[in-house]
Amino acid sequence: MLKRSSASFRAFWPIALLATAGLGMLAALAGFGGRAFAEEPGRRLPDAAVTLKEKSGLRTAVFAGGCFWGVQGVFQHVRGVTEALSGYAGGSRDTASYQAVGSGRTGHAEAVRITYDPSLIRYDELLTIFFSVALDPTQVNRQGPDSGTQYRSAIFVSDAEQARVARAYVAQLNVAQAYAKPIATKVECGAFYPAEAYHQDFMARNPRHSYIVANDAPKLRDLQRYFPERTNAEPILVGAQPPA
């Protein structure tokens, strides 16, 4: 009797393993059919109540929303943006490399520096697009399939005015309960360092890359869907030789 039950136990294990693997694969397929891992779908959020009175001349904004490929890919299609550069913010110059930042211990977040013409789009309007389609701001130290402090979401402000407008918008969205959970995105200060050339224009150059298809293409579709009047058909690319 004992012998028989241990034999059936042994026979059962491979079946149990196969069933578990099968279920896991089904769950993964279901996730990748839509926006993989993200809990918050894209939408058009309300305009900011506190807006930024822009000065003339080109301005910059730095946003961190997980892997920079998708954030750059979205903002390269936003009208009024003259450059969207992938890089690292929140840490020091000497460790601002993909390999070092990937350890999650340098303090950097993957970030995108957006240069824009304030006569065409304001800082607070960039914020609205960022929160609406470029990330799930409720995720803590992760974004989609990527986890670690380097994938936290943050707004890196360059002056007190940007900080005031960014904090007000986060508060506005929280009060309006725009998301099911509180916003984890922090307002931070810190220099921006451009990423390596092979990371620039990654989404535009690799539209069929499985990561882009699963995680980033939906963000661009959301931009086109919810902000058609702000979308350019063609991306503004950094080009083959980004500034060092």
Residue carrying the six token digits 């918050």? 40
Residue 189 bears catalytic tag: no
Phi, psi of 17 (to 5 degrees): -65, -45
Q: Contact, 98 vs 196, CB < 8 A?
A: yes
Structure tokens at 155: 């707004």
- Is residue 169 within the footprint of ligand MHO (CB under 6 A)? no
> Cβ of residue 21: shortest distance to ligand MHO, in angstroms?
22
Residues 114-153 within binding reach of ligand MHO (CB under 6 A): 146
Residue 161 found at the interface with ligand MHO (CB under 6 A): no
- Selected from 35, 64, 68, 216, the binder of ligand MHO by CB under 6 A is 68
Smaller CB distance to ligand MHO: residue 40 or 146? 146
Say which of 45, 61, 62, 67 is annotated catalytic: 67
- DSSP per-residue codes, 133-190: II--TT-SSEETTEESGGG-EEEE-SSHHHHHHHHHHHHHHHHTT-SSS---PEEE--
Q: Which is nearer to ligand MHO, 128 or 153 (CB)?
A: 153
Does 193 bind ligand MHO (CB under 6 A)? Our answer is no
Decide: is 88 part of the binding site for ligand MHO (CB under 6 A).
Answer: no
Q: With b meaning 16 or more CB within 10 Å and e meaning fewer, what string describes 103-122?
A: eeebbbbbbbbbbbebeebb
| 63 forms part of the interface with ligand MHO (CB under 6 A) | no
- Residues of the shown chain interacting with ligand MHO in the complex, contacts defined by CB under 6 A: 67-69, 110, 146, 211
Q: Give the active site residues.
A: 67
